[in-house]
Structure 1
Amino acid sequence: MSQRTLAGILALPLVVGLWLVAVFVPLPYVTYSPGLTVDVLGKEDGKEVIEVSGDKVYRDSGELLLTTVYVTRPNTRINLFEVMSAWFDPDKAVVPYEAVYSPDQSREEVEFEGAVQMASSQDVAIAVALRRLGYDVPSAVEVLLVSEGMPADGVLQRGDVILAINGKRISTPQDVVSAVDSAKEGEALTFRIRRGGVEKTVKVTPRKVDGDLRIGITPAQGFEFPFEVQLNVDPDIGGSSAGLMFSLGVYDTLTPGSLTGGDIIAGTGTMAADGSVGPIGGVAQKIASARDQGAELFMVPAANCEEALGASPDDMRLVRADKFNDALTSIETWVDDPDADLPSCERKQK
């Protein structure tokens, strides 16, 4: 037996061991991949994404795409081959696990947080669009989510404005939490709410959950809208990054003419009540999703510009969006003149 053959035989267990490690040993990373897009001006499962009751709507051509990212789920095993595949794909990213999830965070917790963020972002987006159109949209404490099977289920509804509990005026979400915490077990709380413009009184009896009294709602600082606007998106899509596109979509739906000029425009960004566009995660992957859907313009939050410059947009134009009004002006300007100067992302000087 030659030395080369002997060396090969001796090395074989090591090679097999390394291969098994690469396949079966999980690594502390998360991958980002381009996700699906949703046209907020279109329909999902035969239903308008933006539904309005109580005011005139204008349906026209063109698309406004919200963009998403596929993110490795918490506690999902990801091996060396998967990490390397994502690392060498220009449209994907590899991120340390702790930068995305806490060590003990479960999939259920992540999905719940995403649902809360989505519900809140929709309300803010609607408020910003309506205020831009001149409507009076006062702030209010509202029911953001109702947990199934809890005492409030079937009594309170998402969007209910909470005016008072046991006769005490409610001004902040913490007021609701304090009222439930201070309740006596077995005694009902009297909620005065406004639903659909009508005030009514309902009773909810808190229940002890893990030693604390709960009624099963998530209160939030919300708004009282002059008419109903409902945003219908896949419940599997969570987070707050679609805020800007929701606002643009609501604005376009409530105004005559096509905001997009019949073209495909995409973007991302959270929306604050003052109209500020906030940063999001995975902007490069969202740019890739929009590019593959044929979008010609992509709205980028100012704080994500540096990362966006490293993406591969091809011929799609990247436009910096600092505020809702800025994004609106940029789109209107571009529709009138596709070669017009628009706010752009620029590399920071070091």
Structure 2
Amino acid sequence: MTTLRPSRTGTPARRRTLSRPHALVFGAVPVVALLAVAGFAPLPYSVARPGQTTDVLGTHGGGEVISPSGAAVRKTSGQLRMVAIQATAPDAGIRVGDVIEGWFRKDRAVMPLEAVFPSGMSDAEIAQHNVAEMKSSQRDATTAALRFLHRDPDRVKVRLRLDDVGGPSAGLMFSLGIVDKLAGDGSGGDLTGGRTIAGTGTIDADGTVGAVGGAPLKMQAARRDGASVFLVPKAECAQVRPAPEGLRLVPVSTLKGAVQALRALAKGGPVPGC
């Protein structure tokens, strides 16, 4: 579900928590044009910032984020954190000052509204759209994980609970959480190796990891919340360098590749980087 929150910047605004924007655009409007409308009409832009992170191996909203049934469930250590951004809603009333501030801050990104929200929809319709994307992502994440583990989906069921984030980019982390809860690293240990691992990326039912956008802001949220490793879709490597100090970037393109990378990390083996 989409979360609306009060603005903490000058004008009254509402923020929307999203697990993905499509593409971040920095500095698309000439400064002269902006100054011409300063203090008048709101601009067709959204300002994003690092959002919440959630450990998919833990609890959220009063219950386990991942609840498998029909198979033995492991106790896990470490964390697998999905990461979101916060973006101001279409009716937030973004003014020139908000846009200029966003250009000059590393923890902000300015983007056209249509790059973040479906056009022509009301707030309620956008919320429904985001929920539908999240539900579809959860189904694909479950299918990908069970296929990877060669588990029968008619016998093993997985309930996923994460109500206040919309969009599909938690898919990869959901799949990894399911794998860790059901099988760990495959040799008795945890897939996390006891670390706090964060990441982003969509996932298809066949295990293909897709790009989502917003990775630079998500890395900041990940490091803020204690992650030492960030899994990023390989296609987004160019967008995320350099990483925040203390955060190791690991590019992935499939669920299998992500699992292999985490196994190698846990054992101190070689792991690809951006």
Larger strand fraction of residues: 1
- Specify the alignment match of 2:60 in structure 1: 44
Match of 2:191 in 1: 259
CA distance in 2, matches of 1:98, 1:123: 26
For each residue in 1:209-248, what CA deviation from the matched residue of structure 2 results, as whole angstroms up to 9, or x when unmatched?
Answer: xxxxxxxxxxxxxxxx422210111x22111000000000
Greater RCO, CA 8 A, separation 6+: 2
Is contact 2:193-2:265 (8 Å) kept? no
Matches within 5 A, 1:48-127: 48-127=64-143
Q: Determine which of 239, 248, 259 is the counterpart of 1:307.
A: 239
| Matched AA of 1:230 | R
- Give the superposed CA RMSD: 1.9
**Residues 141-174 of structure 1: CA deviation (Å, up to 9, x unaligned):** xxxxxxxxxxxxxxxxxxxxxxxxxxxxxxxxxx
Residue 158 of structure 2 corresponds to which residue in structure 1?
A: 229
1:257 Cα deviation from its structure 2 partner = 2.8
* Runs of 4+ deviating beyond 3 Å: 18-24
Q: Name the counterpart of 1:165.
A: none
- Taking structure 1 as the reference length, the TM-score comes to 0.64
Once the two structures are superposed, what CA deviation does each residue of 1:15-68 show, in whole Å capped at 9, x if it has no partner?
xxx999534531121112100000000111341111122211011210000000
Q: TM-score, normalised by structure 2?
A: 0.81
Kindly state the Cα deviation for residue 97 of structure 1 after the two structures are TM-superposed.
2.3
CA distance in 1, matches of 2:130, 2:248: 29
Distance 1:103 1:44 in 2: 31
Q: What is the rounded CA distance, in whole Å, between the counterparts of 1:291 and 1:228 in structure 2?
A: 32
Residue 192 (structure 1) aligns with: none
2:80–2:192 Cα contact (<8 Å) kept: yes
Aligned to 1:270: 202
Q: Is the 8 A contact 2:199 2:231 kept in 1?
A: yes
- What residue in structure 2 maps to residue 341 of structure 1? 270
1:58·1:257 contact (CA, 8 Å) conserved in 2?
Answer: no
Amino acid at match of 2:159: Q
8 Å CA contact 1:136–1:226 kept in 2: the answer is yes
Is contact 2:231–2:252 with CA below 8 Å preserved after alignment?
A: yes
Identity level (%): 43
Alpha-carbon contact 1:57-1:254 (below 8 Å) kept: yes
1:241 is aligned to 2:173:
no
Contact 1:67 1:268 (8 Å CA) reproduced: yes
Count of matched residue positions in the alignment of Structure 1 and Structure 2: 237
Aligned with 2:214 (options 273, 276, 282) = 282
Quote the residue 1:195 is aligned against: none
Question: Is the CA contact 2:35–2:96 (under 8 Å) kept in the aligned structure 1?
Answer: no
2-structure distance, mates of 1:299, 1:47: 25
Rg comparison, structure with higher value: 1
Change (3 A) 1:132 1:19: closer
